[in-house]
């Protein structure tokens, strides 16, 4: 009896709760926070399968993404019930998502017309080359004055163009006015607010700013940019602020999570913007680095977009209300961070889990002169070099898998150093410490290495789910919800752990210089224009080194047969 009373009194004391859907590249999570204390009360996570139909292609199933959201909501609601927490206390839901990943679906059937093309995907490389070749002076920054972005395979417009050109179902749906385009946030919000039965087709300014179709100054879809890529504006979602009520949840009432029906979806931020909000980086000059599939360093630049001279992106950080001003950020984007762990595990079988990587690397404590540049999708910031490919160099007979594991962790840290250097040059005010978050921050060796390589302290919050927290904050603060105050005096004090540099700067600089040398070796590996083989696929000979290798192997075989025939 006392337990029940304690539980019910505890339930009353909790006050309003806010939930967040965090749909990332490798997993989906649903998390529930206390709006007054920012405490994480419960969550559930489901991994997402990635498919690689061809070299450089990365896809995910939109229906699996949606199903994973439903599963996470259902399991979390079950956990809350077990904890005696009243689900009806959830007052709002925020959405945060992997950015740039591109979907097209049929608004009449609600069915996706193709798999989601993931941000890492490289199939549009030849499209990007053609677009750059058409610009005056072959300038990849031709659209930067409007978009803040270089023309790159990374962003949604070229992926959408590819879908319209290469997938008959998409082309037909566009022609017959049945197609809807969206990034993952748009797909989820549309489905969760009713889908083909009145679902809301919208996105927020942060996600829109990653498409190359959005003018970051006017905060609207740009007719000239749409014309440049040949995208009809009618298929685009309506752009909203990051914090307002977009629509109400519609969920089957027979489910435990059916209790979420009627709750407003009132927050929407691309994952890196959400992490910036979750880290409370509301002041000009504050920055955070997120270690997920990729690595993303964002620095708040206030109400004015700042253009980079050092290979960084200019992006919308957030707009926390319809009548609130937009804030901007400089961003350094690294394609492969946590993805290198998955590669070592799935492709090479060197490790069985991410925890094993830390143990393996710690067992040697050095890469022993081995350097790993994981340019699996080319190099992003600050190089924007799609022709680069991954290399491991500096190998000797002494090198073993532990050294390669250590080099993989160092690679994440060196890539962060490169974007931090670029950011310090652009802003003229060096960061004195780095706030970090994301799945990889649980690796303590990585955090210490990062402090050593940057020569500044690294600060990690004790609650690692800052991306989801940012989405929850935006949802809870929305007009019409107003259960979460974003006033500086009301924001909860965050407890954190600090990693101080432990090596001398000379050693750090020496290792960084060797890394830069390795990066140069990874450049210009692939030819940029694939050679067609008549059926729209690239020929194997479009990879120059591979072409030489195969031709050389053929000649050696012919020579060997000739010599064998003479004996």
Asked whether the beta carbons of 271 and 97 are under 8 A apart, the reply is yes
Walk along the chain (567 residues) and give the pLDDT tens digit of each residue: 444 444 444 444 578 999 999 999 999 999 999 988 888 999 999 999 999 999 889 999 999 999 999 999 999 999 998 999 988 899 999 999 999 999 999 999 999 999 999 998 999 988 888 888 888 888 888 999 999 999 999 999 999 999 999 999 999 999 999 999 999 999 999 999 999 999 999 999 999 999 999 999 999 999 999 999 999 999 999 999 999 999 999 976 666 667 788 999 999 999 999 999 999 889 888 889 999 888 899 999 999 899 989 989 999 999 999 999 999 999 998 888 888 888 999 998 988 888 888 998 999 988 888 999 999 888 888 888 888 899 999 999 999 999 999 999 999 999 999 999 999 988 888 888 899 998 889 899 999 999 999 999 999 988 888 999 999 999 999 999 988 988 877 776 778 889 999 988 888 888 899 999 999 999 988 765 544 444 444 433 344 444 444 444 444 444 444 434 444
Greatest CA separation found in the chain? 96
Q: Measured between alpha carbons, how far is 564 from 374 in angstroms, rounded to an integer? A: 42
Q: Over the Cα atoms of the chain, what is R_g?
A: 24
Tokens of 51: 């498919």
Asked whether the beta carbons of 420 and 332 are under 8 A apart, the reply is yes
For the purposes of burial, counting CB atoms within 10 Å of the CB of 256, is it exposed (0-12), middle (13-18) or buried (19 or more)?
middle
503-515 burial, b for 16+ CB within 10 Å, e for fewer? eeeeebeebbeeb
Tokens of 246: 């977009």
Q: Measured between alpha carbons, how far is 42 from 79 in angstroms, rounded to an integer? A: 7
Q: Kindly report the pTM of this predicted structure.
A: 0.84
Reference 333, options 249, 401, 245, 272; nearest CA is 272
* 148: Cα within 13 Å, side-chain hemisphere: 26
Which residue has 């979390």 as its token pair?
76
pLDDT at 451: 95
State how beta strands 458-461 and 496-499 pair.
antiparallel
State how beta strands 458-461 and 434-437 pair.
parallel
Which residue has 């806010």 as its token pair?
18
* 227: Cα within 13 Å, side-chain hemisphere: 3
pLDDT at 462: 84
Residue 500 per-residue DSSP state: -
């Amino acid at each position: 009896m006392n337990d029940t009373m304690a539980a019910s009194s505890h339930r009353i004391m909790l006050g309003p709760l806010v939930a967040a859907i965090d749909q990332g590249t490798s997993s989906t999570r649903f998390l529930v926070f206390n709006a007054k204390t920012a405490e994480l009360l419960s969550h559930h996570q489901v991994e997402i399968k990635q498919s690689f139909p061809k070299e450089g292609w990365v896809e995910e199933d939109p229906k699996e993404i949606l199903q994973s959201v439903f599963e996470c909501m259902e399991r979390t609601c079950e956990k809350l019930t077990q904890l005696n927490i009243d689900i009806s206390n959830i007052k709002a839901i925020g959405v945060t998502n992997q950015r740039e990943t591109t979907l097209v679906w049929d608004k009449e059937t609600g069915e996706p017309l193709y798999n989601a093309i993931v941000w890492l995907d490289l199939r549009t490389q030849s499209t990007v080359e053609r677009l750059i070749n058409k610009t005056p002076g072959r300038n990849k920054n031709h659209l930067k004055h409007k978009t803040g972005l270089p023309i790159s395979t990374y962003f949604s417009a070229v992926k959408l163009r590819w879908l319209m050109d290469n997938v008959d179902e998409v082309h037909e749906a566009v022609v017959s006015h049945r197609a809807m385009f969206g990034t993952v946030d748009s797909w989820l919000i549309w489905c969760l607010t009713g889908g083909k039965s009145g679902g809301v087709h919208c996105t927020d300014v942060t996600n829109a700013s990653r498409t190359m179709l959005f003018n970051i100054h006017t905060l609207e879809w740009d007719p000239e940019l749409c014309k440049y890529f040949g995208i009809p504006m009618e298929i685009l979602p309506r752009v909203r602020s990051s914090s307002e009520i977009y629509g109400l949840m519609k969920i089957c009432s027979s489910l435990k999570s059916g209790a979420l029906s009627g709750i407003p979806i009132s927050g929407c931020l691309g994952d890196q913007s959400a992490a910036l909000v979750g880290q409370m980086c509301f002041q000009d000059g504050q920055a955070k680095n997120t270690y997920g599939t990729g690595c993303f360093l964002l620095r708040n630049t206030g109400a004015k977009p700042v253009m980079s001279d050092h290979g960084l992106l200019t992006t919308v950080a957030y707009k926390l209300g319809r009548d609130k001003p937009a804030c901007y950020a400089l961003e350094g984007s690294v394609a492969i961070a946590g993805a290198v762990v998955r590669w070592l595990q799935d492709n090479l079988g060197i490790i069985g889990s991410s925890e094993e990587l830390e143990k393996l690397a710690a067992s040697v404590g050095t890469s022993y002169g081995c350097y790993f540049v994981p340019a699996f999708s080319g190099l992003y910031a600050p190089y924007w070099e799609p022709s680069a490919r991954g290399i491991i160099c500096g190998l000797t007979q002494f090198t073993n898998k532990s050294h390669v594991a250590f080099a993989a962790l160092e690679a994440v840290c060196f890539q962060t150093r490169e974007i931090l250097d670029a950011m310090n040059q652009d802003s003229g005010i060096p960061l004195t410490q780095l706030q970090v978050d994301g799945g990889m921050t649980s690796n303590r060796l990585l955090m210490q290495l990062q402090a050593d390589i940057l020569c500044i302290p690294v600060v990690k919050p004790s609650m690692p789910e800052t991306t989801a927290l940012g989405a929850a904050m935006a949802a809870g603060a929305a007009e019409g919800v107003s259960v979460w105050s974003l006033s500086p005096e009301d924001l909860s004090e965050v407890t954190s752990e600090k990693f101080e540099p432990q090596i001398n700067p000379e050693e750090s600089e020496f290792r960084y210089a060797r890394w830069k040398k390795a990066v140069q070796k990874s450049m210009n590996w692939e030819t940029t224009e694939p050679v067609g083989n008549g059926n729209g696929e690239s020929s194997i000979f479009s990879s120059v080194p591979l072409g030489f290798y195969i031709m050389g192997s053929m000649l050696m075989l012919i020579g060997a047969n000739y010599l064998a025939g003479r004996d």
